Amino acid sequence: MWNIDMTYREEFQEVFDRLYEKKQLLQSSRPLPTMALNKIRESLSIEWTYNSNSIEGNTLSLRETQMVLQEGITVKGKSLREHFETHNHDKAIDYLFSILNDNYILRSIDILSLHGLVLRSIEDEFAGRLRNGGVRITGANFVPPNANKVSDLVDELIQFINTNPLQLNDIELATVFHHKLVWIHPFFDGNGRTVRLSMNLLLMRCGFPPAIILKNDRKKYYEALNQANNGNYQKMILLMCQALERTLNIYLNAMPDNDNDYQKISDIVSEPDALYGQEYISLLARTGKIDAYKEGRNWYTSKLAIENYMANRKRKR
Ligand SMILES: Nc1ncnc2c1ncn2[C@@H]1O[C@H](COP(=O)(O)OP(=O)(O)OP(=O)(O)O)[C@@H](O)[C@H]1O
Ligand SMILES: [Mg+2]
């Protein structure tokens, strides 16, 4: 029924292991001071709103998003709609936290509620309602299913997620849910924003921080979705893992006893005793082979991450 090519699995096992280890580390170590936790959560929420709305076409910058949310101001030259989108997404995140718990089980009513909040006061006639007509996605390699199938397909997807017949891990589940829901495209508008919220229920219920798809990755994101439309989840999994690792690192770096020593790859490889070149290490970073993350235009990793990867590879050979 759900076309999922799982050949990506072998290649990603190490990445999955690394992400679970990081989650474990977060959960097992001394809890961060409440103050620090609140700060991170607040700044992540703002980033989440900024990036998700920006992918959708909202033109507020990160800074403007922050000012609108924290200071309640309006930004000159930006439409009322864009301000609503900002506040709505922020309220939807609050709602998401309010329904979340360790035993959370995905329900269609929650997806509808999140959608309702996303489109509130903007497209009230569609907010929280499944579409009753056809839609097209610009640039997509397929046409979403007929409106009369939508309700059953959503139920089937939720059933698939909750029964997990393929024994997918939490990251795979969130990825498949993300893609399948936008493939069904249950709403006239707001599908992307709603799924970028609701997929995080699946990650956060088991202790992961939210995965935030970055505006800068928009092109990659659409390519990954097109690939997934053909059953190939390679790119989509990579994108989700990178998004998740970024937020995991934000929490880990805030821990008082963290010994992460991330540096720009260009700095690491230009040290006199460097064993590997820029191109090789960058490739490992981009493909998720080593523990690395991108900040702005630069990739960061640590010498330890490179050593670990090389040691692992030797063992395998
Ligand atoms: N090629 C594709 N295949 C499947 N889904 C796609 C494809 N291209 C885009 N999408 C999904 O459709 C969403 C756009 O749908 P829609 O306009 O209803 O959502 P939105 O929240 O208003 O906007 P956006 O997601 O752009 O934020 C994208 O975010 C993406 O998740
Ligand atoms: Mg839209």
| pLDDT tens digits for range 106-137 | 999 999 999 999 999 999 999 999 999 999 99
User: Residue 27 corresponds to which amino acid?
Assistant: Q
Distance 32 CA to ligand 1 centre (A): 36
Quickly count: other Cβ atoms within 10 Å of residue 298's Cβ.
Answer: 13
Which bound ligand lies closest to the C-alpha atom of 224?
1
* pLDDT beyond 90 at 145: yes
Say what percent of the chain tops pLDDT 90.
Answer: 80
Q: For residue 234, give every residue at least 6 positions away whose Cβ sits within 8 Å of its Cβ, in sequence order, or none.
A: 8, 11, 227
**Ligand 1 pocket by Cβ (under 6 Å):** 55-56, 137, 140, 182-183, 187, 189-193, 222, 225-226, 229
Q: What kind and span of H or E run contains 154? A: helix 147-163
Question: For 3-38, what is each residue's pLDDT tens digit?
Answer: 899 999 999 999 999 999 999 999 887 777 888 889
199: nearest Cα among 104, 127, 117:
104
* pLDDT beyond 90 at 295: no
Instruction: Report the C-alpha gap between 48 and 35 in whole angstroms.
Output: 20
Report the nearest-CA residue for atom 22 of ligand 1: 190
Distance 187 CA to ligand 2 centre (A): 10
pLDDT of 1: 59
DSSP-based helix, strand, coil % in the chain, nearest 5? 60, 5, 35
Distance 185 CA to ligand 1 centre (A): 8
pLDDT of 158: 98
pLDDT of 317: 67
Average pLDDT over residues 42-67: 98
Report the nearest-CA residue for atom 14 of ligand 1: 192
DSSP assignment of 70-121 equals: HH----TTS-HHHHHHHHHHHHHHHHHHHH--TT----HHHHHHHHHHHTTT
Question: For 231-283, what is each residue's pLDDT tens digit?
Answer: 999 999 999 999 999 999 999 988 877 766 888 999 999 988 888 999 999 99
Instruction: Report the C-alpha gap between 121 and 84 in whole angstroms.
Output: 7
Give the β-pairing of 292-295 and 263-264. unpaired
Catalytic residues, which ones? 185
Report the nearest-CA residue for atom 26 of ligand 1: 56
